[in-house]
Amino acid sequence: MTWNWQQKNWPEFSFDREALAYLEAKFLHQSGVLIGALKSFSDDDKRALTIEIITDEALTTSAIEGEILDRDSVQSSIARNFGLDTPRRGIPSAEKGIAEMMVDLYRSYNTPLSHEMLFSWHMMLLTGRSDLRDIGRYRTHKEAMRVVSGKYQEPIIHFEAPPSSDIKMEMGRFIEWFNTGNTSGTLTRAGVAHLYFVSIHPFEDGNGRLGRAISEKSLSMSLGRPTLISLSYMIEKHRKNYYRALELNNKKLEITDWLLYFARTILDAQGYTQSLINFLIEKTRLYDRLRGRLNERQEKVIARMFREGVDGFKGGLSAENYIRIADTSRATATRDLRDLVDKGALWKKGQLKHTRYYLNIEHESATPL
């Protein structure tokens, strides 16, 4: 098997620029739309949106690698890194580390990439790990770095990266390209950066998470501001497509297929961010309509529903959900829910035990390309 890094022209990737032109133009147009939408936000609302998106990214970039983290701990740590007062609770190492890395990615978006930056991110990302030899530095082991699946006796090799002895040279070349390379197109550059980095696979662990962070940094540097898109969220929703696209493009240097996949994923992520902005606007409008009209139980349940985000409770809010969240009786829950519908806070669907309740807001989900 010949991998991309073993080919004569490595790392000179080729692709069809015309095939990507429409997607590049759409991304720039939508970036302008997002900027316009944010101008009407207060500083507090902008901060809340920023923390929400960074939290989603931290959780989903970890979930892609099979690491499930506690949302409240991650969000609390991110908020604390932004200087906000949060409950003084103990935050596990993994949650604290990914939060610190994602906030640093946001803040240092326009700083040139460097070995030291990557080492720092790697140390944050793997905080608390004791099973690795090389943390905060490139891998040094002599055995081949492979991505495998299947049985131990008969592994399926999906990719083999350059040997550890070549990593310092490969990463020096990658960083120089990242900081000075003139790849036409914002989406194209981010897509090449991701595939290029994960093809080198320079660390013992964490390469996927760092590769996605590098893509977001590339987008932010191209635009001159943090992009605040939910890239990892979209990748995690269709994880198999992501790994399949990587595997189909790690044996060649012509990568138009990969760039089309990655560009569409970024645009879907951008659309999801727009839906979050719309959701926050509608949340403010709903609270304005209901100010002073809800009892304590109702306020608690409405706040809990908003915490579920754009997609809300799967299948809607049930009376049982209400009883549990509000810690109340069935009779009281029934009265409260009827009152919330009458006041226009919720709308209901179904009958009897199949009745479900939804926030009465205009909801427009992102539509994949």
Domain boundary assignment for the chain: 4-276, 293-359
The contacts found for 91-97 with CB under 8 angstroms, 24 or more apart, are 92/128, 93/127, 93/128, 94/62, 94/67, 94/69, 94/127, 94/128, 95/69, 95/70, 96/127, 97/124, 97/125, 97/126, 97/127, 97/128
Instruction: Report d(CA 86, CA 79) in Å as an integer.
Output: 7
Q: Helix, strand, or coil here: 159?
A: strand
Q: What is the pLDDT along the chain (369 residues), one digit of tens a residue?
A: 799 999 999 999 999 999 999 999 999 999 999 888 888 788 888 898 899 899 999 999 999 999 999 998 999 999 999 988 877 678 999 999 999 999 999 999 999 999 999 999 999 999 888 899 999 999 999 998 998 887 777 778 899 999 999 999 999 999 999 999 666 799 999 999 999 999 999 999 999 999 999 999 999 999 999 988 889 999 999 999 999 999 999 999 999 999 999 999 999 999 998 888 888 888 888 999 999 999 999 999 999 998 887 777 778 999 999 999 999 999 999 999 999 999 999 999 998 888 999 999 875 544 444
3-state SS, one letter per residue, for 257-269: HHHHHHHHHHHHH
Common-topology check for domains 4-276 and 293-359: no
H or E, element range at 160: strand 155-160
Q: How many other C-beta atoms can be found within 10 angstroms of the C-beta atom of residue 143?
A: 8
What does CATH list as the number for 293-359? 1.10.10.10
Dihedral angle at the C-alpha atoms of 285, 310, 368, 349, nearest 10 degrees?
-90
69 contacts 95 by C-beta, under 8 angstroms: yes
| Domain 4-276 belongs in CATH node 1.10.1380.10 | no
Query: Under the phi-then-psi rule, with left for phi > 0, alpha for psi from -120 to 50, and beta for the rest, what region is 87?
Result: beta
Instruction: Report d(CA 64, CA 200) in Å as an integer.
Output: 19
Helix then strand then coil, % of the chain, to nearest 5: 60, 5, 35
